[in-house]
C-alpha cells in the first residue's frame, strides 16, 4: 500500500508543532505542544512521538502508513550530520540528534533541516512559491528567518548555514544585533524590531498615538504599528516605511545574489498584506537597476504559521516519497 501521510515537526523555542500532512501539502491533523526545555531533547522526542501516535489514530493510520518524518529545528544546525549544534532559545540543547530516537520509536526515515529552511520549503512545496523553480523566503517575526530554494533544492552551502538573510547587513555601522554584527536586516524589518523602534522613540520623547500603550510594552506590536501608520501617525509611518525600505534593499540584493523567480514574505509583519508588499515594491522600483529585467516577484506567504510543519513534511515526501 502506498504511503498516506508524512509527519512534519516544527521545533521552536516555546512550542513544538506536529502535523500529519498528505502528499499535496494538506494538513490532516495537527498538535501544538509546549516545549519543556529543561526536560531536554529526550522529553521533547517522547512528547512529539506520543502526539504523532494520537494523530495517526485519529486518521485510522499506523506508522506503516507514513512515508517518513521531517523535522525543522532552530539553528545553527549541522545539516550533514542531522544535528542541532546549539539552540539559542533552548538552554542546554547542544549537539542534539533528534532523528535517531524519532526514527527508532516510529520505525520511519527522518529528514532534518533548520526551521527557516523548512518554512521556505513549505511555501515552495505547497504555498506561495509552488510552481516556481526557485524562491527565497523571508519570515519577518521575532527575528528574520530565511530559506533559499534553487532548482528545487534547499541551499545549504559549505558550512550548512547558507541563506541566513536576516543577518544581511543593510546599514553598515547601523543598529547593533545580538549576533555580534551591526545593521542586520532583522534590526529594521522584523516584527519585533518595528515595535522596539517605536517604543524607543516614544521613550525618547517623540509623539505617537501609541504612546499611552508604551508603558505595558507588550501592547505595542507590529500589527498596532501598522495600524497607526495607516492611520497617519508620523512616527509609526516613518519606522514602518524604513522597514519597507530595508526590505526593498534586501530584495534587490537577493535579486542580484540568486536571481530567484520569486521572494515570499511571511511572519508577523506580513499580516499587514498590501501595506507591506506595496511599499516594499515602491522602494524597490525607486532603487531598481535598469540593466536586465530580472526583479523577482514579491509575494505574501500563504501557509501562515503552518509553513514550518508543512515544509518539514514536504522534506520527507520529497526525500522518501519515491522510495515507497
Active centre residues (catalytic): 115
CA angle at residue 188 from 186 to 194, to 5 degrees? Answer: 105
Of 156, 197, 299, 306, the residue at the interface with a second copy (CB under 8 A) is 156
**Least distance in angstroms from the C-beta of 200 to a second copy:** 20
Name the one range near a second copy by CB under 8 A: 59-67, 154-162, 270-278, 311-319: 154-162
Please say which residue, 36 or 81, places its beta carbon nearer to a second copy.
81
According to the binding rule CB under 8 A, does residue 186 interact with a second copy?
Answer: no
**Least distance in angstroms from the C-beta of 244 to a second copy:** 12
Cell 530584495 belongs to which residue? 251
Of 131, 232, 292, 322, the residue at the interface with a second copy (CB under 8 A) is 292
- For 126, the grid coordinates are 505547497
Q: Between 258 and 277, how does the x/- string for binding to a second copy read (CB under 8 A)?
A: xxxx----------------
Please say which residue, 84 or 210, places its beta carbon nearer to a second copy.
84
* Rg, the chain, Cα only: 20
Name the one range near a second copy by CB under 8 A: 22-30, 52-60, 89-97, 171-179: 171-179
State phi, psi for 57 to the nearest 5 degrees: -60, -40
Residues in the chain, how many? Answer: 324
According to the binding rule CB under 8 A, does residue 97 interact with a second copy?
Answer: no
Of 35, 245, 300, 301, the residue at the interface with a second copy (CB under 8 A) is 245
Please say which residue, 88 or 219, places its beta carbon nearer to a second copy.
88
CB 111 within 8 A of CB 150: no
Long-range contacts formed by 200-207: CB under 8 A, 24+ apart: 201/235, 201/239, 202/235, 206/235, 207/234, 207/235
Residues in binding contact with a second copy, number by CB under 8 A? 51
Please say which residue, 12 or 260, places its beta carbon nearer to a second copy.
260
Q: In the sheet where 94-96 sits, what is the strand order?
A: 77-78, 83-86, 94-96
Of 34, 80, 158, 232, the residue at the interface with a second copy (CB under 8 A) is 158
Name the one range near a second copy by CB under 8 A: 49-57, 89-97, 98-106, 131-139: 131-139
Picking from 24, 261, 18, 29, the residue whose alpha carbon sits closest to that of residue 127 is 24
According to the binding rule CB under 8 A, does residue 131 interact with a second copy?
Answer: no
State phi, psi for 244 to the nearest 5 degrees: -65, -40
d(CA 268, CA 202): 22
CB 303 within 8 A of CB 126: yes
**Least distance in angstroms from the C-beta of 277 to a second copy:** 19
Of 25, 74, 101, 134, the residue at the interface with a second copy (CB under 8 A) is 134
Please say which residue, 24 or 158, places its beta carbon nearer to a second copy.
158
The Cβ of residue 190 has, within 10 Å, a number of other Cβ atoms equal to 26
Is residue 225 left, alpha or beta, with left meaning phi > 0 and alpha meaning psi from -120 to 50? Answer: alpha
According to the binding rule CB under 8 A, does residue 171 interact with a second copy?
Answer: yes
Query: Residue 233, exposed/middle/buried by CB under 10 A (0-12, 13-18, 19+)?
Result: buried
Rule CB under 8 A: which residues touch a second copy? 75-76, 85, 88, 132-134, 148, 150, 155-165, 167-172, 177, 179-182, 245-246, 249, 252-253, 256-261, 287-294, 296
Amino acid at each position: 500500500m502506498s504511503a498516506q501521510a508524512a509527519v512534519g515537526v516544527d521545533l521552536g523555542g516555546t512550542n513544538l508543532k506536529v502535523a500529519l500532512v498528505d502528499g499535496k501539502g494538506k494538513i490532516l491533523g495537527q498538535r501544538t505542544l509546549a516545549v519543556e526545555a529543561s526536560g531536554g531533547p529526550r522529553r521533547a522526542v517522547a512528547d512529539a512521538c506520543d502526539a504523532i501516535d494520537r494523530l495517526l489514530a485519529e486518521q485510522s493510520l499506523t506508522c506503516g502508513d507514513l512515508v517518513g518524518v521531517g523535522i525543522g529545528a532552530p539553528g545553527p544546525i549541522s545539516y550533514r550530520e542531522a544535528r542541532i549544534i546549539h539552540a539559542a532559545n533552548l538552554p542546554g540543547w547542544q549537539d542534539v540528534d533528534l532523528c535517531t530516537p524519532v526514527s527508532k520509536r516510529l520505525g520511519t526515515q527522518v529528514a532534518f533541516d533548520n526551521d527557516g529552511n523548512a518554512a521556505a520549503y513549505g511555501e515552495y512545496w505547497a504555498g506561495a512559491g509552488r510552481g516556481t523553480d526557485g524562491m527565497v523566503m523571508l519570515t519577518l517575526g521575532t527575528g528574520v528567518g530565511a530559506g533559499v530554494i534553487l532548482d528545487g533544492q534547499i541551499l545549504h552551502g559549505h558550512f550548512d548555514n547558507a541563506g541566513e538573510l536576516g543577518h544581511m547587513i543593510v546599514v553598515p555601522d547601523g543598529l547593533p544585533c545580538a549576533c555580534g554584527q551591526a545593521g542586520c536586516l532583522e534590526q529594521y524589518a522584523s516584527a519585533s524590531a518595528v515595535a522596539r523602534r517605536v517604543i524607543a522613540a516614544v521613550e525618547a520623547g517623540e509623539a505617537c498615538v501609541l504612546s499611552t500603550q508604551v508603558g505595558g510594552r507588550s501592547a505595542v506590536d507590529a500589527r498596532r504599528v501598522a495600524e497607526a501608520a495607516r492611520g497617519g501617525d508620523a512616527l509609526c509611518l516613518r519606522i514602518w516605511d524604513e522597514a519597507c525600505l530595508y526590505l526593498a534593499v534586501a530584495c534587490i540584493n537577493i535579486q542580484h545574489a540568486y536571481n530567484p523567480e520569486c521572494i515570499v514574505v511571511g511572519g508577523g509583519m506580513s499580516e499587514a498584506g498590501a501595506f507591506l508588499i506595496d511599499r516594499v515594491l515602491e522602494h524597490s522600483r525607486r532603487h531598481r537597476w535598469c540593466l536586465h529585467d530580472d526583479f523577482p516577484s514579491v509575494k505574501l506567504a500563504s501557509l501562515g504559521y503552518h509553513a514550518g510543519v508543512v515544509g518539514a513534511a514536504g522534506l520527507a515526501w520529497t526525500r522518501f516519497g519515491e522510495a515507497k
